[in-house]
A and B are shown apart, each in its own frame.
Chain A
Amino acid sequence: MTLKTTFLGAAATALVMAATAAVAEPALIYDLGGKFDKSFNEAAYHGAEEWAKETGGKYKDIEISSEAQREQVLRRFAEEGFSPIITTGFSFSTPIANIAADYPDVKFVTIDGYVDPDGHPNVLSVLFKEEEGSYLVGMLAAEKSTTGTVSFVGGMDIPLIRKFACGYAQGAKAAKPDIKVVANMIGTDPSAWNDQLKASELTKAQIAQGSDVIFAAAGASGLGVLQTAADENVYGIGVDSNQNYLHPGHVLTSMLKRVDLAVKEAMTEGEDLKTGVKIEGLAEDGVGYAMDDNNADLITDAMKTSVADAKAKIISGEIKVHDYSADNTCPALDF
């Protein structure tokens, strides 16, 4: 394009404009938790916004408000010609599997969900190895702990959260084999993702049991965990996004799950999206732990080297982190 003469350039611009008009817009559907949950869905929103800012592109997004709307919104968006249609949360996997065949020209993305690529050639499943990222923050927790007890606060007792907890416990026990890991879940219905008060109570109870590092994987409830940890002068660990800035000096680190990158990538690829199954682990930088100015003083060089060493070993396959969802068991923690 840079070599074109001015009048060719003008013609080319017109062509490009015509081409963009024909390109389908991407769409993003948030799970029931809603767009601004300061966690998982919001990470997806940030990814989309970043894409829009960089490319000047437009996208459509919607927060659903009932289970029956999952299929409804997917169908309506597919009929309107949006593509790719990106969804957050595992609950979208079944509706996508049900309808994908009716819209072969539309590409669907399920983040955290799994749709069998055989028979669904237009679906991309993006899965994260949460256990690997949690393993690393578990090691950091155990090495930071002076009481010999660390703990975990989950939102709801669902397999995904057990996956986080199991990775965390494995990492903690790898760093200090005799460490005690306490794990609790906040609630049994979806309100558990947004109950900071109960999260705070659980955190206090865990501190009373001796815990001095607490990992929260509980959506917006996690903010209550981090707040209480800061108030009680112990350490919290954030999740999904980098939450180190919330209470500088009291958030040891955050377990990153790069939903934003996954959304951005899918939108960038647009209609040429490669479908199938994408697994994002440490090797792909899909998960990890956050280091910035806010926690630089909390993590010693010795901790850094041991975690970097473990990370390299996980990537090379020397350390195998057990995935709870593979066989519904956890070697390091009882549920």
Chain B
Amino acid sequence: MDRMPAWADVVLVPLISVLLAAAISAIAIVLIGENPWEAFKIMVEGALMRSSGWGYTLYYATNFIFTGLAVSVAFHARLFNIGGEGQAVLGSLGVTLACLFIPWPHWTLAIIGSSVAAAAFGALWILIPAYLQAKRGSHIVITTIMFNFIAAALINYLLVNHLRPMGSMEPASAVFPAATHLPSFHDMFSFLGPKMFRGSPANVSFFLAVIASIGVWLLIWHTKLGYAIRSLGFSESGAKYAGISPVKIMIIALLISGGLSGLMGVNATQGEAERLILNSAEGAGFIGIAVALMGRNHPLGVFLASILFGFLYQGGAELAMWTSIPRELIVVIQALVILFTGALDNLVRWPLESLFVALRKKES
């Protein structure tokens, strides 16, 4: 940190990494016989130049913000929660039960109820892994990923045997009552024009994600609990010496993490699908890891990285629709972004650091 100004650490390093990833993606696109510049234009036009494109980009971004925040909160305690997928699915289940079985008079009340249920179910799903980690030392990576499979099995069982409406072939719950439907961006911003955000799934839960980001920032850097979480992350023995109970803080940090993942259900299940479907988290739990890595576990970074990944998802859909670039290549591009921003971080950091050091020497 002392070798490089903060802005370079937060902005320059990820930016250069993304550009490197883009360059290599362009080579891959050339190799399969397509024009990378055209592809880039289609992605930008489809994702950012139309309001409905933004509607999709922000919808995906909302999912990634929640799961990204979840990973970063756990990571501040040096715990690696890779069970975001399962916690999000359970959060969706909480949303579903709250929406189907409580007669809400209005969506403003319903979103409060469903958010509480989503966070509670998500937190509940990490409780056992958290306890096992804190008390028994069972590694959180192993237990949380195993809980993903248990979550998938549980949801499958509930949908097929209990929540599925009679006679429906689809393993999905009934559609939520109209009073619980969240206003989409199209409903909220149609005063700007009748076509604004038309047909796109972004909805009011995006603002819930913004609130959650601010909340996490306050929690981590401006509360006693956040201080305890960070000190535990830096040194467990140091935290113990300072009178912090590692067991308690570990469990609390993980519960918050699980709750944040669970909140994703408000966006995907109540905001978009308006019913519980089998595949409700669809990988956002894992994208959350990449988003947190790229955002350096800072809420603002997570927010920006989520928008980038939302852009990649929506731009990728446009590519699949209007070119013959296969959807697998989109995964390759995403993987390259993750590789460069996460795993190969030092590839950019070290040369940049020495550059700054050299510049500073010159000045002095």
Assuming the contacts A69-B317, A190-B279, asked whether A326 and B167 have C-beta atoms less than 8 A apart, the reply is yes
A68 CA / B164 CA spacing, docked (Å):
20
Within 8 Å of chain B (Cβ to Cβ): is A87?
no
**Which residues of B are found within 8 Å of A65, using beta-carbon distances?**
316-317, 320, 327, 330
| Cβ–Cβ contact B152 & A188, under 8 A | yes
Within 8 Å of chain A (Cβ to Cβ): is B153?
yes
Nearest A residue (CB) for B201: A68
| Cβ–Cβ contact A94 & B199, under 8 A | no
Within 8 Å of chain A (Cβ to Cβ): is B197?
no
| Cβ–Cβ contact B317 & A112, under 8 A | no
Shortest B153–chain A CB gap in Å is: 4
A235-246 near B? 1/0 per residue, CB < 8 Å: 000000000000
Shortest A116–chain B CB gap in Å is: 11
Within 8 Å of chain B (Cβ to Cβ): is A93?
yes
A99 CA / B198 CA spacing, docked (Å):
12
**Which residues of A are found within 8 Å of B282, using beta-carbon distances?**
66-67
Shortest B166–chain A CB gap in Å is: 7
Within 8 Å of chain A (Cβ to Cβ): is B156?
yes
| Cβ–Cβ contact B277 & A67, under 8 A | yes
B169's partner among A72, A112, A190 (CB-CB below 8 A) is A112
**How many residues does chain A have at the interface if contact means C-beta atoms less than 8 Å apart?**
35
| Cβ–Cβ contact B160 & A325, under 8 A | no
A256-297 near B? 1/0 per residue, CB < 8 Å: 000000000000000000000000000000000000000000
**Which residues of A are found within 8 Å of B167, using beta-carbon distances?**
325-326
A191-215 near B? 1/0 per residue, CB < 8 Å: 0000000000000000000000000
**Which residues of B are found within 8 Å of A91, using beta-carbon distances?**
170, 172, 277
B156-184 near A? 1/0 per residue, CB < 8 Å: 11001000101111111001000000000
Shortest A272–chain B CB gap in Å is: 26
| Cβ–Cβ contact B170 & A90, under 8 A | yes
A90 CA / B172 CA spacing, docked (Å):
11
| Cβ–Cβ contact A158 & B160, under 8 A | yes
| Cβ–Cβ contact B156 & A156, under 8 A | yes
Assuming the contacts A67-B273, A68-B59, A188-B152, asked whether A157 and B160 have C-beta atoms less than 8 A apart, the reply is yes
Within 8 Å of chain B (Cβ to Cβ): is A320?
no
Within 8 Å of chain A (Cβ to Cβ): is B234?
no
A114 CA / B175 CA spacing, docked (Å):
15
| Cβ–Cβ contact B277 & A159, under 8 A | no
Nearest A residue (CB) for B284: A66
| Cβ–Cβ contact A32 & B317, under 8 A | no
A268 CA / B275 CA spacing, docked (Å):
35
Nearest A residue (CB) for B175: A94
| Cβ–Cβ contact B272 & A68, under 8 A | yes
In chain B, positions 285-320 with a C-beta closer than 8 Å to chain A are: 313, 316-317, 320
**Which residues of A are found within 8 Å of B268, using beta-carbon distances?**
67
Nearest B residue (CB) for A89: B170
**How many residues does chain B have at the interface if contact means C-beta atoms less than 8 Å apart?**
39
In chain B, positions 122-181 with a C-beta closer than 8 Å to chain A are: 149, 152-153, 156-157, 160, 164, 166-172, 175
Within 8 Å of chain B (Cβ to Cβ): is A76?
yes
| Cβ–Cβ contact B170 & A71, under 8 A | no
Nearest B residue (CB) for A75: B199
Within 8 Å of chain B (Cβ to Cβ): is A62?
yes
Nearest A residue (CB) for B273: A67
**Which residues of A are found within 8 Å of B121, using beta-carbon distances?**
none
| Cβ–Cβ contact A113 & B170, under 8 A | yes
A114 CA / B168 CA spacing, docked (Å):
8
A42-80 near B? 1/0 per residue, CB < 8 Å: 000000000000000000001111111101110111000
**Which residues of B are found within 8 Å of A66, using beta-carbon distances?**
60, 282-283, 313, 317
Within 8 Å of chain A (Cβ to Cβ): is B66?
no
B57-68 near A? 1/0 per residue, CB < 8 Å: 001100000000
Nearest A residue (CB) for B198: A75
In chain B, positions 317-362 with a C-beta closer than 8 Å to chain A are: 317, 320-321, 326-327, 330
A77 CA / B317 CA spacing, docked (Å):
13
A188 CA / B154 CA spacing, docked (Å):
8
Shortest A152–chain B CB gap in Å is: 16
**Which residues of A are found within 8 Å of B156, using beta-carbon distances?**
156-158, 188-189
| Cβ–Cβ contact A113 & B172, under 8 A | no
Within 8 Å of chain A (Cβ to Cβ): is B56?
yes
Nearest B residue (CB) for A92: B170
**Which residues of B are found within 8 Å of A77, using beta-carbon distances?**
321
Shortest A83–chain B CB gap in Å is: 16
| Cβ–Cβ contact B171 & A158, under 8 A | yes
A189 CA / B170 CA spacing, docked (Å):
14
A328 CA / B171 CA spacing, docked (Å):
12
In chain A, positions 68-121 with a C-beta closer than 8 Å to chain B are: 68-69, 71-73, 75-77, 90-91, 93-94, 99, 112-114
- The winner among B153, B164, B168 for most chain A CB atoms within 10 A is B168
Shortest A305–chain B CB gap in Å is: 34
Assuming the contacts A71-B199, A91-B170, asked whether A159 and B316 have C-beta atoms less than 8 A apart, the reply is no
Within 8 Å of chain B (Cβ to Cβ): is A160?
yes
- The winner among A66, A73, A90 for most chain B CB atoms within 10 A is A66
**Which residues of A are found within 8 Å of B317, using beta-carbon distances?**
64-66, 69, 72-73
A156 CA / B279 CA spacing, docked (Å):
12
Known A-B contacts: A67-B273, A189-B156. Give 8 more (CB < 8 A): A62-B320, A62-B321, A67-B279, A113-B170, A157-B156, A159-B169, A159-B170, A189-B279
Chain A residues close to B by CB (< 8 Å): 32, 34, 62-69, 71-73, 75-77, 90-91, 93-94, 99, 112-114, 156-160, 188-190, 325-326, 328
A-B contact pairs, 22 of them (CB 8 A): A62-B321, A66-B60, A66-B313, A67-B268, A67-B279, A68-B59, A72-B199, A72-B317, A73-B317, A77-B321, A91-B170, A91-B277, A94-B175, A94-B275, A99-B199, A156-B156, A157-B156, A158-B160, A158-B278, A159-B171, A188-B152, A326-B167
Give the 10 A-B residue pairs with the shortest CB-CB distance, closest first.
A188-B153, A189-B152, A188-B156, A188-B152, A65-B327, A158-B171, A90-B170, A75-B199, A90-B169, A159-B169
Chain B residues close to A by CB (< 8 Å): 56, 59-60, 149, 152-153, 156-157, 160, 164, 166-172, 175, 199-201, 268, 272-273, 275, 277-280, 282-283, 313, 316-317, 320-321, 326-327, 330
